[in-house]
Amino acid sequence: MTAASPEKGRPGGAAAVAVIGAGPAGLFAAECLAGAGCAVTVFDRMPSPARKLLIAGRGGLNLTHSEPLDAFLPRYGAAHDWLEAAIRAFPPEALRRWCEDLGQPTFTGSSGRVFPTAFKAAPLLRAWLRRLDALGVRLRPRHRWTGWDRQGRLLFEPEGAEAFAWRADATLLALGGASWPRLGSDAAWVPVLRDAGIAISPLRPANAGFTLDWSPLFRERAAGEPLKRIALHFEGRTARGEAVVTAEGLEGGVFYALSAPLREAIALRGEAVPQLDLRPDLPAEDVLRRLSAPRRGQSLSNFLRKTLALPPVAIGLLREAAREAPDSLSEPARLAGLVKALPLRLTGIRPIERAISSAGGIGREALDANFMLRRRPGIFAAGEMLDWEAPTGGYLLQACFSTGRAAAEGMQHWLRLPETVPPVP
């Protein structure tokens, strides 16, 4: 075991800061700290930074959401009061200005979601890495963090090289959760922190698909088919949007929006039974009136297609719901009830490795108001490794940026630096 030389961590006598994790939370904290004069080194076990950001942005990088904060903050559920100060200090408007300052203007889509005008993540990341390089931030890829030695130094195992210890004046952990482990978030930090006496809530899938017991025929015909302009209801909550049928069940925005209560219901009772509205734009009485009209020799599929503009996949779902009593679909009242409130018996949630994000992690009781670990002074945490979750729609990235900035500010207070984190742009 070798120790990093002091001069490597302290050029010019600046405070030496280690950031472990090169995702959005870690890189943004690194930018803030380097801008305040710290000597920042970012370690990551992957060969290149922000891999999950790049993959998430392939179909369009959803940075944040344009809705007012009073509607935005409740998206974080039980954690909204914990995250509120950090998000108000660096809100969606500030994140958009930061992007524009990097030469990446943004636009608001029809759903209220905010994207870079370039749409993809790669141009934004390239501009960001250039800024970090100009600020003197050093990136050390292929370095796995394994904990601390008896002197409190950080321990690293670089790929293809000898393990070493690194002394930092302050450290930020921004190692992500447990979703998409092939991109870097493998949750290897969980046993390290537990061994240090830090309470960790179990990591669970969030924004994931759910499993249903499809008939073989429906699975064969419908897997991959989209469900558009639908609504999902569960325990007094409603989500509108889209979903897609998979061979295992269903996934998509309406399920992500309700993933927390659905997941918890399955864990408690072994199943969750939300209701799917296939025509949320039509009142129930209007649906019944249309379905009460004579069929005039039309098949059920043609009748539903012409009367309610239902696509084949939606008609297939109606048949799935009536598998035990297919003749009941000839009754207008029964059929209308299924169109407006089709029960879905969800029996499980897809594995965390297939989830967009994860719930669980370091709880608020383990951190002080500055995002520092109470049992490890000088060690801070931010991003998805904290115990919060949110639906897709820009809320995930926003909280990563906001907590990264809040932790950077906490680190400066800890270091008693004369300057503060650079102001919100």
How many Cα atoms are found within 13 Å in the side-chain-facing hemisphere of 229?
Answer: 8
**CATH 3.90.650.10 correct for 16-205+358-416:** no
Contacts of 269 (CB under 8 A, 6+ apart): none
Rounded to whole angstroms, the Cα distance separating 377 from 413 reads 12
**The pLDDT value given to residue 8:** 39
Q: CA separation (Å) from 183 to 67, 87, 177, 251, 285?
A: 30, 26, 11, 21, 49
The neighbour count for residue 301, using CB atoms within 10 Å, is 14
**The pLDDT value given to residue 328:** 86
Rounded to whole angstroms, the Cα distance separating 159 from 156 reads 10
Rounded to whole angstroms, the Cα distance separating 132 from 27 reads 8
How many Cα atoms are found within 13 Å in the side-chain-facing hemisphere of 175?
Answer: 24
Tens digit of pLDDT at every position of the chain (425 positions): 444 433 334 445 689 999 999 999 999 999 999 999 999 999 999 999 999 999 987 779 999 999 999 999 999 999 999 999 999 999 999 999 999 999 999 999 999 999 999 999 999 999 999 999 999 999 999 999 999 999 999 999 999 999 999 999 999 999 999 998 888 899 999 999 999 999 999 999 999 999 999 999 999 999 999 999 999 999 999 999 999 999 999 999 999 999 999 999 999 999 999 999 999 999 999 999 999 999 988 999 999 999 999 999 999 999 999 998 888 899 999 999 999 999 999 999 999 999 999 999 999 999 999 999 999 999 999 999 999 999 999 999 999 999 999 999 999 999 987 655 554 44
**The pLDDT value given to residue 118:** 94
**The pLDDT value given to residue 77:** 93
**The pLDDT value given to residue 356:** 94
Residue extents of the structural domains in the chain: 16-205+358-416, 210-349
